Amino acid sequence: MIQKHWWKALGVVILIYSFTAGMLVPLKPGIVEVAPQSAATGTTVEFKVTGYNSHYKEAEDSLRAWLKMDNEHALGADKINVLDDQHLRVTFSIPEYLPNKDRVKDFSLLLDNTVDGASVLPSAVFVTQDSIDPAMGQAAWVNSPIANLSSKDAMNFPFRNILAEGIRNTYYHVPLWFAMILIFLGSVVYSIRYLRTYDPMYDHRAQALNTAGLLFGILGLVTGSIWAKFTWGAYWNWDVKQNMTAIALLIYLAYFILRNSFEDDEQKARISSVYNLFAFAALIPLIYVIPRLTDSLHPGAGGNPAMGGEDLDNTMRMVFYPAIIGWTLIGLWIANLFYRTKQLEHRLLDL
Amino acid sequence: MQLAKEIWFLLRKEVKLELRMNYAISGILLYLFSTIFIVYSAFRTVKPEAWNALFWIIVLFTSVSAIVKSFVQENGGRQLYFYSIVNPTAMILSKIIYNILLLFLLSLLTWLGFVFIGGNPIRDAGQFILALFLGSVGFSITFTFISAIAVKANNSSTLLAVLSFPLVIPILLTLIKLTANALRILNDTGIQRDVLILIAIDMLLLSMTFILYPFLWRD
C-alpha cells in the first residue's frame, strides 16, 4: 500500500507545504508610494513616504534616506520625521543644477534602517531642471555616498512594486504551466508506446494524461487572468503568451473532438495518438519560441529577465521548485483516476 | 531514387486528375473570385490594415476548401491499390508538393483578384511573394496531414477546420507580420528572423508528417 501510493502522499504534502509557505511567509519591507512624485531643482521638498510591512517607529534612530540618480550620484535626506510604522516625512533640498543633460530625471528613493534592512522604490521622484548645465551640476551636487546598508536575514519574499502581495501567485500560476507541459510530455510517451505496441491500455493512459493536462492548462489560464487583472489592469491583455496558450488549449480541445468522431476503438486510438504527437510538436513553437521573440508583458520576453534577479530569489525558489513537483504529482494522480474510471467503464460495457 | 520516381509519378497523377476533373479547380476559382467581389462590394475602399487581414482570411478559407478533397477523392479501392504499390512517404510528399503548387497558384490569383478590383497596396512585391510561398508551404503541410487524419472520421470537412485552424495560427500570425512589412504598415528590418521562424515551423511539421504518416494510412 505505502510502496504503491507514496507519491500521492508526497504530492499532497508538497502542495500543503507550498500553500502554507506561499501564503504565510511575509514580504520584505518595501515602499509603496512617495508623494509628491515630482520636484524642481533648487527647492526644499518634503515627501510623504508610505511603507509596506515596515517598522519605522521602532527603527527611528537608525533611519536613513537617499534620492539616488545613479551609482555615483545620490542625495542624502536633510530631515526624517516618523509619523507611524508605515508613514514618514522625508525632506530633501535639491541643488540648483543636476549633474546630467536631461531636462527631467528620475530618482529612486532608498531607505535604510537596522530593523527592516534596505528598501528601494525605483523611479520614485521626477526632478525637473529649468536650465541645463552638467558642469555646474557637478559642482553644485552634494554627493552623499550610500554606504553601510543594513541587511536583514529573514525568511521573506521580495517586495516588487507592481506585484506586492500578488508575487505569491508565482507558486500557483507558473508551476501549473510547468506541470501541464510535463503531463503532456507523459501523454506523448504513452502515445509513442501505443503506436509501437497497439496495446489500448497505453492510449487510455495518454487520453487520461491529456485530460489532466488540459485541466491544468485551464487553471493556469484562470490564475493568470486573475493575476493580470491586478497587475496589468485587465483579465485579457492580448499579450503574446496569453494568445498562444489560448491557441494551445484549442489544439488539445480538438484532440477530444477528434476522439469522439470515431466509432471504431482501434482507429480512434491510433489516429488520436498520431494527432497527439503532431499537436505536441506544434505546441513547442507556440509556447517556447514565438513568445520569446516578440514583446510581452510577461517576464522572460522583450529583454526582461525570467526566473532570476529580483523576480525569483532563493526564498522563493524554496517554495517554487517543490510546487512544480507537487502539482505534477497531483496531476499524475488525477490522470490515474481518469484512467481507472475509463477502465471500469470498459469492463462494465464489455459485460 | 525509387522514391523520387514514385513521387514524380504520383505528382503527375495528381495534376492529370485535377485537369481531368476540372470542375474542382474551377469551383475553387469561382469561390475565390466571388469572395473577393463580395468583400469589395461590402467595403468599397480597403485600408492596408484591413487588406492584410482580408487577404489572409480569404487565402486561408480557399486553401481549406482546396485541400479538403486531397484525401477524400481517394476512395477505399484506390487507397488499397496505392497501399500495395507505393511507399507512404512518396504518397504524402507528392500530395504536399502538389498542394504547395496549388496553394501558391491560388494565393497569387487571390492577389491578382485583389489588384484587379481594388488596386495594389503592396510596396515590396518580392517580400510579399516570399511570404505567399512560405505560407503555401506551411498551410500545405498542415492541411494535407490533417486532411489525412480527418478523412478517417465521419464529418471530415468540419473536423479539418477544427483540427487545423489552431495549428496554423502561429504560421498565420507570422505571415500577417511579414505582409504588414511588405505593405509598409510596419517597418521592421528584422524580417529574416520571421522568415527563419516560418522555415523552422515548416521543417518541424514536415518531419512530424514523415514520421507519423505511415501509422495513419494503413487501415
Report the complex ipTM. 0.86
A247 vs B159, B169, B211: nearest CB: B169
pLDDT digits (tens, 9 = 90+) for A220-233: 999 999 988 888 88
Q: What percent of chain A has pLDDT over 70?
A: 93
Nearest to A274 among B149, B154, B173 (CB): B149
- Could you tell me which chain A residue has the CA closest to the CA of B174? A290
pLDDT of residue A311: 59
State yes or no: pLDDT of A310 exceeds 60: no
With a cut of 90, say whether residue B111 has pLDDT above it. Answer: yes
Nine-digit cell string for B28: 475553387
Please indicate whether residue B91 or residue A214 has the higher confidence score (pLDDT): A214
Of B145, B153, B201, the CB nearest to A285: B201
Average of per-residue pLDDT across A190-202: 93
Q: Which of B163, B211, B216 faces A258 most closely, judged by CB atoms?
A: B163
CB B65, CB B103: distance < 8 Å: no
Residues of B in contact with A248 (CB under 8 A): 166
Backbone torsions φ then ψ of A113, nearest 5 degrees: -155, 165
Cis peptide before A36 (omega within 30 of 0): yes
In B124-163, the residues whose Cβ lies within 8 Å of chain A are: 145, 149, 152-155, 159, 162-163
Which whole number is the average pLDDT over B205-217?
A: 89
Q: Is the pLDDT of residue A307 over 60?
A: no
Q: What angle do CA B50, B53, B59 make, to 5 degrees?
A: 135
Question: Percentages helix, strand, coil for chain B, rounded to the nearest 5?
Answer: 85, 0, 15
- A248-272 confidence digits (pLDDT tens): 899 999 999 999 888 888 889 999 9
- C-beta atoms of B153 and A274 within 8 A: no
pLDDT score, position A66: 87
- Residue A68 above 80 pLDDT? yes
Nearest chain A Cα distance for residue B112, angstroms: 31
Residue A296: is its pLDDT beyond 80?
Answer: no
pTM: 0.85
Q: Report pLDDT for A182.
A: 93
SS3 state at A131: coil
Q: Please check whether residue B196 touches A, CB under 8 A.
A: no
**CA separation for the pair A251, A280 (Å, rounded):** 9
- Residue B157 reports pLDDT greater than 70: yes
The answer to whether the CB atoms of A254 and B153 lie below 8 A apart is no
Taking contacts as CB-CB distances below 8 angstroms, the residues of chain A near B166 are 247-248, 250-251, 254
Range with the poorest average pLDDT among A258-272, A310-324, B95-109? A310-324
Residue A295 has what pLDDT? Answer: 67
Is the separation of the CB atoms in A173 and A220 below 8 Å?
yes
Residue entry with cell 542625495: A75
Please report the pLDDT score of residue A292 as a whole number.
66
B187, with CB counted inside 10 A (0-12, 13-18, 19+), is exposed
Least confidently predicted of A74-83, A252-261, B101-110:
A74-83
Q: What is the pLDDT of residue B89?
A: 86
Categorize the per-residue pLDDT at A302 as very low, low, confident or very high, splitting at 50, 70 and 90: very low
- Residue A351: the pLDDT is 61
**Mean pLDDT value across residues A15-36:** 88
Residue A218's pLDDT is 94
Secondary-structure percent of chain A, ordered helix, strand, coil, rounded to 5: 55, 15, 30
Q: Which pLDDT value is given to residue A312?
A: 66
pLDDT mean across residues, chain A: 85
User: Does A161 score more than 70 pLDDT?
Assistant: yes
Q: Would the pLDDT of B179 be above 50?
A: yes
Lowest mean pLDDT of A109-113, B3-7, B77-81, name the range. Answer: B77-81
**More confident: A116 or A280:** A280
B163/A282 CB distance under 8 A: no
Q: How far is CA A266 from the centre of its chain?
A: 43
Of B159, B165, B212, the CB nearest to A278: B212
pLDDT score of A56: 87
Quick one: pLDDT at residue B48? 85
Which three cell numbers mark B99?
A: 498542394
- The pLDDT value given to residue B219: 65
CA closest to B155 among chain A residues: A261
Please list, in sequence order, all residues whose beta carbon lies within 8 angstroms of the beta carbon of residue A304, skipping any fewer than 6 positions away.
A296, A298
- The distance of B135 to chain A (nearest Cα, Å) reads 16
Count CB pairs under 8 A between chains A and B.
75
Instruction: Considering only residues B219 and A199, tell me which one the structure prediction assigns the higher pLDDT.
Output: A199
